[in-house]
């Protein structure tokens, strides 16, 4: 009897589930059978296809880097191996770590990146607030120069910059990379000024007026009322500044010559040079690093492992800041009162 009862209940549940699915299908077809419903579904489908294509374009280099970094030399040269290696070789990361010796260079890169990012956030937010809220002589001309500073590549200004920093005695120090950031200049500083200005245009003036009525001065109103509202824009500026400072190779290569002050990303060139060296030179390099000789020790997989080492800090930082970063991108450019 109990078996029959359980069988009857299972049949009822199955029948109820089928009826529920039929009802949902009927409601969906009734809703989307119209011309407008079909049009919306076609537009959604095309959008998803486009987004998947764009996502693949951006994700493909990272997937290629990660899969190649754990391949052996035979897998790299095999026409039958594309994505999945025959054997995972994590030793490539150890070889890349040994060649780059990233400890000190990682500290150097992180130090300059963090300090310059803080300088950009503080200075550019302050400058952007001034452009958004105050009228002063030649305001439009000055803001036009800010936009021009973003458009003009740094290569066109590098000679006067180099001579200026040389006269200050700042060559072979981190000052040329850090000090300009605290004045709203530096690497892409004009872009951050523009982002903060666009956000502050959306902030109601009534908040500042209420703060002044309560006795707040300019600085207290800005730092305690206005600046905290720009959290999403701050994250956008931080992410962009961290990525650009971390990956910058051009300016550090001009201003810094001391090996002790070098950064981590340029060390990837040492792996590339070793992987592309002649067999005799490569064997000598491997002996100097205390690594076993052979084609399977140093190849393109080790280069990709080094690239993964260099990319990891930025990817981890972006993973934590992604939600606020997207919110800031959505809000940027919307003008208010």
Asked, for residue 31, whether it belongs to a domain, the answer is: no
For residue 55, being part of any structural domain is answered with no
Task: Report pLDDT digits (tens) over 198-233.
Answer: 889 888 888 888 888 888 888 888 888 889 888 888
For residue 74 the two structure tokens come to 């035979």
User: For 293-317, what is each residue's pLDDT tens digit?
Assistant: 766 677 788 888 888 888 888 888 8
Give, in degrees to the nearest 5, the angle at Cα 12 between 6 and 13: 90
Q: Is residue 157 part of a domain?
A: yes
What global pTM score does this model have?
0.76
Contact of 182 with 111, CB cutoff 8 Å: no
* Percent above pLDDT 70 for the chain: 88
What is the per-residue pLDDT for 335?
42
| Number of domains comprising the chain | 1
- Residue 6 confidence (pLDDT) above 70: no
Q: What is the mean pLDDT of the chain?
A: 83
Please report the pLDDT score of residue 336 as a whole number.
44
Q: How far apart are CA 133 and CA 308, in angstroms?
A: 44
pLDDT tens readout for residues 151-169 = 888 888 899 999 999 999 9
Supply the CATH number for residue 212's domain. 1.10.3720.10
Model confidence pLDDT, tens digit, residues 72-109: 888 888 777 778 888 888 888 888 888 887 777 888 99
- Whole-number pLDDT of residue 3: 57
50, part of any domain? no
Instruction: Decide if 103 is inside a domain.
Output: yes
Expressed as residue numbers, the domain containing 301 is 92-331
User: For tokens 């934590």, what's the residue?
Assistant: 320
Q: 120-124, 261-265, 293-297, 320-324: which has the minimum mean pLDDT?
A: 293-297
Residue 14 lies in a domain: no
Domain-embedded: residue 6:
no
> Is residue 239 in some structural domain?
yes
Alpha carbon distances (Å) from 306 to 90, 130, 309, 310: 12, 43, 5, 6
């Amino acid at each position: 009897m109990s078996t029959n009862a359980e069988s009857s209940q299972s049949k009822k549940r199955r029948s109820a589930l089928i009826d529920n699915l039929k009802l949902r299908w009927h409601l969906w077809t009734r809703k989307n059978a119209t011309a407008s419903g079909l049009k919306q579904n076609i537009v959604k489908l095309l959008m998803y296809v486009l987004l998947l294509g764009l996502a693949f374009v951006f994700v493909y280099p990272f997937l290629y880097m990660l899969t190649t970094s754990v391949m052996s030399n035979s897998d790299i040269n095999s026409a039958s191996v594309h994505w999945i290696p025959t054997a995972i070789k994590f030793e490539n990361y150890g070889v890349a770590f040994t060649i780059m010796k990233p400890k000190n260079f990682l500290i150097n890169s992180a130090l300059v990146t963090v300090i310059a990012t803080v300088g950009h956030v503080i200075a550019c937010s302050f400058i952007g607030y001034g452009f958004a809220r105050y009228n002063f002589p030649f305001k439009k001309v000055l803001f036009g120069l800010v936009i021009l500073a973003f458009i003009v590549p740094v290569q066109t200004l590098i000679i006067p910059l180099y001579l200026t920093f040389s006269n200050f005695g700042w060559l072979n120090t981190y000052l040329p990379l850090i000090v300009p950031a605290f004045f709203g200049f530096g690497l892409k500083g004009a872009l951050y000024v523009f982002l903060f200005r666009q956000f502050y245009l959306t902030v109601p003036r009534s908040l500042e007026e209420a703060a002044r009525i309560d006795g707040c001065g300019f600085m207290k109103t800005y730092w305690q009322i206005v600046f905290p509202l720009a959290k999403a824009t701050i994250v956008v500026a931080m992410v962009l500044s961290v990525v650009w400072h971390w990956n910058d190779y051009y300016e550090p290569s001009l201003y810094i010559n001391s090996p002790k002050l070098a950064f981590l990303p340029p060390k990837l060139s040492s792996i590339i040079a070793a992987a592309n060296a002649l067999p005799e030179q490569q064997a000598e390099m491997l002996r100097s690093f205390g690594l076993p000789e052979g084609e399977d020790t140093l190849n393109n997989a080790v280069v990709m492992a080094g690239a993964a080492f260099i990319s990891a800090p930025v990817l981890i930082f972006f993973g934590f800041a992604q939600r606020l970063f997207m919110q800031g991108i959505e809000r940027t450019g919307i003008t208010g009162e």
